[in-house]
């Protein structure tokens, strides 16, 4: 067992040095002025998604900026916008359990949250044996050629790269899950329902692999693009100011559930005043209608964006244990 693990880690070192999957130089994780909080491990390893640069660069590329929004020196709350080098920050566990989780933080498609729904969740997962990957995806309002599919392109590419580099991280390529929060929950549900949709031209061998996760967990997700229940900011940035019914349907995961969708874990607080709980209810009904395994948890209180830190001391704090127990029954471990 130890010899096999050493072999995997040795292979991982070589892949990292040679850029397995066609990716060479890696972009550092997003960082803001002012330093990192004391005592919290920050990622030092990243994986750039696209060799030669992300496809469909806007004529006037955005500039990446990371902002620190917290006033507490001990707790960071960073957000990054203008991403032109989409990448994953990697959190390796001390003792890998062979499973991986790809995380999509939220941010309303205006920016991508770094800490609350990214690094904090990744540390929690790594402490329990999961190899965690936090995706900093491109934003649809920045003018990319792929338009509303640009974040999905990054998500598809990311899960394929994880599978392509499975030996690097001592993971089973069949045991790759996804989890997303708020607008990142929309991206999570978009990938779990449109994993087989071609959104970019293949660039290397990694793109021969499946983008279907073993299971998906959209957490307080944006789902529907119907103006009656949609998160208005996410809808406007994703689809533009006046989308037609066809465009709304194409980017509403509840309208696109395939017969072979993976099992889903859904979570929402009924007092969410940012993303209506109706979004989760619509996705739950759509999954049930297609006979897809789904477990849903609705909590009376919790608000929006609770993640880990804002769930402490509330009944919704139990959500991570509920997810982990459910995940074991999907084969994730």
Residue 264 maps to a domain: yes
pLDDT value of position 34: 66
Residue 38 maps to a domain: no
185: nearest Cα among 230, 130, 146, 147: 230
Predicted confidence band of residue 230 (pLDDT cuts 50, 70, 90): very high
Higher-confidence residue: 223 or 1? Answer: 223
9: pLDDT strictly greater than 70: no
* Mean local confidence (pLDDT), 212-229: 98
Residue 51 maps to a domain: yes
Residue 135's domain comprises: 2-33+43-328
Predicted confidence band of residue 93 (pLDDT cuts 50, 70, 90): very high
Residue 286 maps to a domain: yes
Residue 303 maps to a domain: yes
* Mean local confidence (pLDDT), 87-91: 98
* CA–CA separation, 144 and 247 (whole Å): 17
CATH code, 203: 3.40.50.1820
* Mean local confidence (pLDDT), 45-72: 95
22: pLDDT strictly greater than 80: no
Count structural domains, the chain.
1
4: pLDDT strictly greater than 70: no
Residue 333 maps to a domain: no
pLDDT value of position 72: 84
299: number of CA atoms within 13 Å, CB side? 20
* CA–CA separation, 198 and 61 (whole Å): 24
Q: Which residue has the tokens 């929004």?
A: 69
65: pLDDT strictly greater than 60: yes
**Sheet (strand 78-81) strand order:** 65-68, 78-81, 112-113
Residue-wise pLDDT tens digits, 116-144: 999 999 999 999 999 999 999 999 999 99
Residue 298 maps to a domain: yes
């Amino acid at each position: 067992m130890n010899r096999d693990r050493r072999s995997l880690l040795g292979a991982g070192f070589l892949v990292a040095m040679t850029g397995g999957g066609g990716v060479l130089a890696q972009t550092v994780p997003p960082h803001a002025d002012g330093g990192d909080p004391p005592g919290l491990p920050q990622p030092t390893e990243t994986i750039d998604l696209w060799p030669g640069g992300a496809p469909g660069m806007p004529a006037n590329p955005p500039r990446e900026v990371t902002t620190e929004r917290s006033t507490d020196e001990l707790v960071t709350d960073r957000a990054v916008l203008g991403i032109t080098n989409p990448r994953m920050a990697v959190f390796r566990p001390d003792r890998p359990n062979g499973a991986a989780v790809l995380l999509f933080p939220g941010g309303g498609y205006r920016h991508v949250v770094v800490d609350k729904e990214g690094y904090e969740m990744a540390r929690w997962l790594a402490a329990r044996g999961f190899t965690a990957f936090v995706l900093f995806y491109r934003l649809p309002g920045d003018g990319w050629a792929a338009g509303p599919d640009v974040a999905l392109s990054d998500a598809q590419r990311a899960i394929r790269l994880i599978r392509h580099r499975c030996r690097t991280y001592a993971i089973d390529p069949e045991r790759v899950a996804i989890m997303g929060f708020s607008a990142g929950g929309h991206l999570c549900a978009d990938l779990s329902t449109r994993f087989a949709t071609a959104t970019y031209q293949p660039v290397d061998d990694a793109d021969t692999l499946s983008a279907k996760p073993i299971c998906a967990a959209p957490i307080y997700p944006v789902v529907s693009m119907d103006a009656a229940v949609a998160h208005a900011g996410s809808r406007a940035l994703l689809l533009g100011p006046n989308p037609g019914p066809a465009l709304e349907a194409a980017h509403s995961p509840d309208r696109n559930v395939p017969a072979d969708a993976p099992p889903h874990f859904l979570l929402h607080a009924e007092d969410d005043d940012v993303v209506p709980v109706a979004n989760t209810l619509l996705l739950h009904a759509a999954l049930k209608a297609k006979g897809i395994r789904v477990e849903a948890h609705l909590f009376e209180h919790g608000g929006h964006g609770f993640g880990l830190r804002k769930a402490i001391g509330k009944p919704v704090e139990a959500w991570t244990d509920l997810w982990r127990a459910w995940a074991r029954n999907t084969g994730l471990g």
